[in-house]
Structure 1
Amino acid sequence: MNRRLNRRFVTGSTFRLIDRRDVLRGPFRILLAALSIGFVSSADSRAETGVHSDRIVLGQSAAFNGPAASLGTAFRDGLNAAFKAVNRSGGIHGRHIRLIGYDDGYEPEQAIANTKKLIDDDAVFALIGEVGTPTSRAAHPLSEKAGIPFVAPFTGASFLRDPALITAINLRASYAQEAEALIGYLTGSEHMSRIAVLYQDDTFGRVGLNGVREALKRRDMAPVSEETFRRNTTAVKRALLSIRRSQPEAVIIVGPYEPAAVFIKTAAQIGFEPTFAALSFVGSKALAAELHPNDHAVVVSQVVPLFDDRTLPLAKNFLDALTAANPQAEAGFVTLEGYIAGRLVAEALRRLGPQPTRSAFLDLFKSPATFDIDGMVLEFGPGDNQGSDRVFLTAIGEDGSFVALDAGL
């Protein structure tokens, strides 16, 4: 209690000592309560949206149900592993990080509804980990309009890498870079020339298709066949029969794990066994589980290193954090990407000091900024809102494990 409350007050010609207990009675208590409310309200009014005295609130809209559920769940598990590790160590300048998530089923309309709720009702500081190209294309304009950071979307779509965007902060390499790495491997190391493409018939699929086309064009080549399937379905048999007629040596799949697995297993049933390749969005761990035991040649491009290689400080710290946060969570490439995204946000908030703002957060990534996440170096700067350009190629083993085909391109 302030010692001023114990001083003697003049009342007529006498002096009376005001006891501390008197202060807590009657009008004194009412006055103090009013002053306290005014002080707290003033402090809250100065704080940034989503920043509270004890926590910083982030929001995620992603697929937690449906054919892409494994991707959203894995990314969320990675985020929570990073945030819980930070919170156990005292948080960021005394504040814990809290994540609010809503299921969008990998559907753009629901992603819009979720994003509006996170912005308007939950008043989050930033959006993080939107899963998918069509959902990101739908949700990102809302963050751009509100000036809310849109961090680490799980997509390599080129439209989010436009330097004119205000709020987009990308962690991963682009789909064009992944396609280049896959085509380089197939045409170079494997000496293949007949390559077909199966792609999801939406913005994601077309972005991936264009990446493959451009990579082949640089080698004076073109796809021998291009076929589609609808989002959130596994209806790939018609496309399979058409692709088989073109007699490709390899088929690049631009889609999530469920239709990819159906395509690969059905192809084997009819005696069609080229090399299969997929972009990272496929969800490698889920694909391996669907194919187990795997006796197909399957190559997947990744945007993070091997998640289970404990000789890497990043992988070791990730696995330890994931186990501590949720022993039932399954480690994988998507989970590791979510973990790195969580670590990135935590470090950015730490650098901003005890009074972070959205504008300062965004400015940090628009000025030259380097983040070393246990050896995974992310670099941002003016005109560059993508932290990593690295692509790692892996093959799925018979037992579902992953073998590195390179050290990172």
Structure 2
Amino acid sequence: MLRVRVILLLILLLPVQSVYAADILLGMSTALTGPTAELGTAMRDGVLLGLERINRDGGVDGRKLRLVVLDDGYEPARTAPNMRRLIEEKQVLAIIGNVGTPTAIASLPVIREHRVLFFAPFTGAGVLRQTPPERYVINLRAGYTEEIDAMVDALVRHGGLQPEDIAFFTQRDGYGDSGYVSGFSALRRHGLADERQVLHVRYPRNTLAVENALADVLLAEKTPRAIIMVGAYDPCAKFVRLAREAGLESLFLSVSFVGGDFLAEALGPGVEGVVVTQVVPHPRDRSLRVVDDYLSDLHSLAPELSPTFAAMEGYLAARLLGLGLARVQGVPSRESLIDALETLGRIDLGLGRPLQLGPQRHQASDQVWPTLLRQGRLMPMDWPQIADLVPERP
């Protein structure tokens, strides 16, 4: 990993003019400090690992891919200036792998103004998934709609829950709101007639102030049998721990943005049975070619790091962007890169099922993988297992 991090350090410290003219610069604004720093760091490391693999194989027509990373601390007020610096001062070709919904919302006006590709952000928010698709936004991962649809379908179909048995614990911002809207729509499809039947509690972003939300759950007229969490790993972990200490037996589920590896670490081995949906395969599943590539590259370049879902997503994002860059004729431009990505069609990246991109499809994957927390680790699971996880009806 030393070589990769030296590359990153040089890019951050030197002005653009000092980078070889043949280099292709990419930008990222992410959380390297603050309560979600582990997510931002993992995504950055995954992207760097994927770019290094491309560079090791000759780059793009001999041009090396470089990444400029700026820290926004997961605060939208810091993101927009970062984006302007990356685009206007650093002259990056594209933005890749930014982390978060509120920060993505802050990025969009700058992206639209400068017509720069916003590629594979670490968020499933619907605002980035317009119909028809927004030209300058291309996603890798499934959205929160697909993740929460899968949860709700499993809870109703396999767990025997009614829509009003399901509650929501969300972050009080665009991320949490996006998850709740997706969840409410899923419950409506399963017969929910009145939004007031659904318990919805929230906490402030970048805090651990979850006590009021938990009190609302404990004092609710009807105890939820399942609680879907749309938050960051530390507040979600605190919420689950305090709930268990208070005797709450509800099944907890979370969308992928929580960073399942970091949630498991924060919860420790004493808490089990939490379900986390993933939008990439398990990062230790060597039966998949691209995961085997990831683990091999991790072993050779960063043996001190453990594989994580977030880094796996960053790695896949870099590999997918590399395929688009390889299709560009001549020196890539911001527009020609988007045109090239839209011509990829069905893509075999080694995931066991194809990805797909096109002019009317700017989300490469719809796949959701459920995982279950057991003995401090997230293990693959099948949705019918949820029947054994939900508490009995009181």
TM-score of the alignment, normalized to the shorter chain, above 0.5: yes
Q: What SS class does the counterpart of residue 373 from structure 1 fall into? A: coil
- Flag the 1:320–1:67 CA change in 2: closer, same or farther, 3 A: same
Deviation at residue 71 of structure 1 after TM alignment: 1.1
- Flag the 1:307–1:164 CA change in 2: closer, same or farther, 3 A: closer
Deviation at residue 284 of structure 1 after TM alignment: 0.3
Asked whether the 8 Å contact 1:251–1:276 carries over to 2, the reply is: yes
Amino acid paired to 1:167: Y
Aligned to 1:400: 377
> Is the aligned partner of 1:171 residue 2:148?
no
Asked whether the 8 Å contact 1:51–1:125 carries over to 2, the reply is: no
Asked whether the 8 Å contact 1:395–1:405 carries over to 2, the reply is: no
Amino acid paired to 2:37: A
> Is the aligned partner of 1:134 residue 2:102?
yes
Q: Deviations over 1:173-221 (max 9, x none)?
A: 1111111001111111121221110111111100100111011110113
For residues 58 and 187 of structure 1, the distance between their equivalents in structure 2, rounded to whole angstroms, comes to: 43
> Is the aligned partner of 1:286 residue 2:240?
no
Aligned to 1:181: 150
Report which of the two structures shows the higher radius of gyration computed on alpha carbons: 1
User: What 5-or-longer segments of structure 1 have no aligned partner?
Assistant: 1-48
Aligned to 1:256: 232
Counting matched residue pairs gives 359
Aligned to 1:299: 275
Q: What SS class does the counterpart of residue 231 from structure 1 fall into? A: coil
Deviation at residue 392 of structure 1 after TM alignment: 1.1
> Is the aligned partner of 1:388 residue 2:356?
no
Aligned to 2:68: 100
Q: Deviations over 1:141-194 (max 9, x none)?
A: 211211111100111111111235221011111111111001111111121221
Deviation at residue 322 of structure 1 after TM alignment: 2.0
For residues 210 and 326 of structure 1, the distance between their equivalents in structure 2, rounded to whole angstroms, comes to: 39
Aligned to 2:390: none
- Flag the 1:268–1:179 CA change in 2: closer, same or farther, 3 A: same
Aligned to 1:272: 248
Deviation at residue 369 of structure 1 after TM alignment: 2.3
Amino acid paired to 2:307: A
Deviation at residue 50 of structure 1 after TM alignment: 12
Aligned to 2:355: 378
Larger RCO: 1 or 2 (CA < 8 Å, sep 6+): 2
* Equivalent of 2:190 in 182, 199, 219: 219
Amino acid paired to 2:199: S
Deviation at residue 384 of structure 1 after TM alignment: 1.7
Aligned to 2:213: 239
- Flag the 1:215–1:230 CA change in 2: closer, same or farther, 3 A: same
Aligned to 1:60: 28
Q: What SS class does the counterpart of residue 377 from structure 2 fall into? A: coil
Deviation at residue 399 of structure 1 after TM alignment: 3.0
Asked whether the 8 Å contact 1:148–1:167 carries over to 2, the reply is: yes
Q: Deviations over 1:118-163 (max 9, x none)?
A: 0111111111111111100101221121111110011111111123
Task: Tell me which moved more, 392-401 or 114-123.
Answer: 392-401
- Flag the 1:220–1:237 CA change in 2: closer, same or farther, 3 A: same
Amino acid paired to 1:393: P
For residues 304 and 90 of structure 2, the distance between their equivalents in structure 1, rounded to whole angstroms, comes to: 28
* Equivalent of 2:42 in 59, 71, 74: 74
Q: Deviations over 1:71-130 (max 9, x none)?
A: 111111110111111112221111111111011011001010111110111111111111
Q: Deviations over 1:246-274 (max 9, x none)?
A: 30101111001010000001111111121
Asked whether the 8 Å contact 1:161–1:384 carries over to 2, the reply is: no
Deviation at residue 52 of structure 1 after TM alignment: 5.6
Deviation at residue 298 of structure 1 after TM alignment: 0.5
Percent identity, aligned pairs only? Answer: 38
Deviation at residue 51 of structure 1 after TM alignment: 10
Aligned-pair Cα RMSD in Å? 1.9
Asked whether the 8 Å contact 1:288–1:294 carries over to 2, the reply is: no
Amino acid paired to 1:100: V
Deviation at residue 55 of structure 1 after TM alignment: 1.3
For residues 141 and 405 of structure 1, the distance between their equivalents in structure 2, rounded to whole angstroms, comes to: 40
Deviation at residue 324 of structure 1 after TM alignment: 2.3
**Aligned counterparts, 1:15-30, within 5 A:** none
For residues 358 and 371 of structure 1, the distance between their equivalents in structure 2, rounded to whole angstroms, comes to: 21
Segments ≥4 residues shifted beyond 6 Å: none
Amino acid paired to 2:158: S
- TM-score normalised by L of structure 1: 0.84
For residues 149 and 207 of structure 1, the distance between their equivalents in structure 2, rounded to whole angstroms, comes to: 22
- Flag the 1:383–1:304 CA change in 2: closer, same or farther, 3 A: same
For residues 97 and 34 of structure 2, the distance between their equivalents in structure 1, rounded to whole angstroms, comes to: 17
* Equivalent of 1:148 in 94, 108, 116: 116
Amino acid paired to 2:76: P
Amino acid paired to 1:363: D
Aligned to 2:7: none
Aligned to 2:5: none
Amino acid paired to 1:109: A
Aligned to 1:202: 173
Asked whether the 8 Å contact 1:50–1:123 carries over to 2, the reply is: no
Task: Tell me which moved more, 270-279 or 306-315.
Answer: 306-315
Q: What SS class does the counterpart of residue 298 from structure 2 fall into? A: helix
